[in-house]
A and B are shown apart, each in its own frame.
Chain A
């Protein structure tokens, strides 16, 4: 296997494996947010702000993997 093929494979693996954890995390956050809304519907705005912040944190980890994959692919 030559270096270019290896690079493509590495980029694919980086984002593929790197998206697993954040995927689970975003699912958990969404589930808990829906649960909190069901329990306490009048707290919607507070729940929304916290959820979006937590989502951004979880998503950022996937974005790190994506940056690594893009650097591997395009440099």
Chain B
């Protein structure tokens, strides 16, 4: 029967800190990204470059020009953040579609039931909540850095007239709701995709899953793009000078 759990299950504990299967997956993705970036860094200095280097280089330059359209003159400062978001989320979403993720089972820490060893990391609300929090905190950080404390605080506490004061309160609420919408959008899309794939596989076991896998690959890409694009748009709004 279908076994769907909405939260990630802890596999073992490390110093009282539960290690969940989603956390393991994001560790693997982090390792892949780390090795990839070390490789790129080492290749860019060597005289003879491999084909893989040019592939990574193409991806980086393409995404750089894409974000340059939004971030404009601040691209060099802000691209590391949004680019990292894009590639991390993209790899996470696609890693969740690999065979073995969700189907390799191990005994849980209390030896009670079988739980999957890997779980798509974006299909865990904790991961996406962390990503959303990083994104929103970065908006505040760059807001202070580009506008200074006075310019930053004036956006939220404006006493020039009652309407502006009320707008400042709304601005605070919208910042908080951004965390929720960021995290729920990513979590919902990826988790819904996993449930959809599972249900389809139970309805018709052969061949029919294939177009849905294609769609999930596309959804994974679009969600990574949307997350990083929205972060870029909000960041460029946060660092823009206000007129009037």
Contact = CB atoms under 8 A, between A and B. Distances in A.
Interface string B213-244: 00000000011011001100000000000000
Given A52-B225, A53-B229, A74 B188 contact: no
Contacts of A67: 184, 187-188, 191-192
Contacts of B189: 59, 63
A15 to B, nearest CB: 10
Interface in B4-29: 4-6
A70 interface: yes
Contact of B188 (A52, A53, A64, A75): A64
Contacts of B181: 60
A60 B185 contact: yes
Contacts of B191: 67, 70
A60 B6 contact: no
B195 interface: yes
A72 to B, nearest CB: 10
A56 interface: yes
Contact of A56 (B4, B6, B226): B226
Interface residues of B, number: 18
Interface residues on A, range: 10 to 19
A56 B185 CA distance: 9
Interface of B: 4-6, 181, 184-185, 187-189, 191-192, 195, 222-223, 225-226, 229-230
Interface in A24-72: 52-53, 56, 59-60, 63-64, 66-67, 70-71
B6 A71 contact: yes
Nearest to A64: B184
Contact of B6 (A52, A53, A75): A75
B6 A63 contact: no
Nearest to A70: B6
A56 B228 CA distance: 12
B225 A70 contact: no
B101 to A, nearest CB: 19
Contacts of B5: 74
Contacts of A66: 188, 192
Given A67-B187, A70-B192, 11 more contacts: A52-B222, A52-B225, A52-B226, A56-B185, A60-B184, A63-B184, A64-B184, A64-B188, A66-B188, A67-B191, A74-B4
Nearest to B190: A63
Most chain B beta carbons < 10 A, residue from A53, A56, A70: A56
A71 B4 CA distance: 11
A14 to B, nearest CB: 13
B225 A74 contact: no
A63 B229 contact: no
B16 to A, nearest CB: 25
